[in-house]
Chains A and B, each alone.
Chain A
């Protein structure tokens, strides 16, 4: 069973469209994250939720909106897609919100291509 699963794996869309990426974890973790990996492989955190509460909200355009219906799910909705949004988006989870005893479990990524 996949611990952290993201769908879709690939997403190709036109500029201006609205799209969502879904993430689910079956590890019973309390905290989930979205990271963005750009074309130069830089990974940067976007959001983090702990028990459905937003705890990390980095400086990202407000076209990006995370939604956590329950602690096992963290979806990422993107409005008015732009070329610069093309990247690989990784979902991750951890048991708690502190780094000292936790490790992140990552999904396999969603390759978003905006044309």
Chain B
């Protein structure tokens, strides 16, 4: 079975500072990995995904993530955050043949302060 652990429930950061949101997964088969963002009172939006190929994946809004198979991690990073990045971020995993049965982590609340 697959599972996802987001190590930080909340990450406070000042505007223009870099940020890393951590995600670790567990799976006995090859996985596909995703980061979704949820702004207040909205549904989730896809930030980026890793399916195969280059382990460094770039997404929207200046975010990127690196797939590390040996550490079973898929951490999300941004070199300089904005107030508008304040949101809940979800890491998710699925596997080949799993259709879109995404398994989500518990989320990390990113709070960007001026």
Q: Please list the residues of chain A having a beta carbon within 8 angstroms of any beta carbon in chain B.
A: 4, 31, 33, 40-45, 48, 55-56, 90, 92, 94, 97-100, 102-109
Contact = CB atoms under 8 A, between A and B. Distances in A.
Interface residues of B, number: 23
Given A99-B32, A103-B49, A109 B43 contact: yes
A94 B100 contact: yes
B46 interface: yes
A84 B98 CA distance: 27
A90 B100 contact: no
B25 interface: no
Nearest to B109: A41
B99 A100 contact: no
Contact of A106 (B44, B98, B99): B44
Contacts of B46: 103-104
Given A48-B99, A90-B44, A104-B100, A41 B107 contact: yes
Contacts, number: 64
A43 B104 contact: yes
A41 B43 contact: no
Given A41-B88, A100-B51, A108 B41 contact: yes
B67 interface: no
A43 B43 CA distance: 12
Given A42-B106, A106-B44, A106-B45, 17 more contacts: A4-B43, A41-B106, A43-B44, A43-B104, A45-B102, A48-B101, A56-B100, A92-B44, A94-B100, A99-B98, A104-B46, A104-B100, A105-B43, A106-B43, A107-B43, A108-B41, A108-B43
A94 B42 CA distance: 17
A99 B45 contact: no
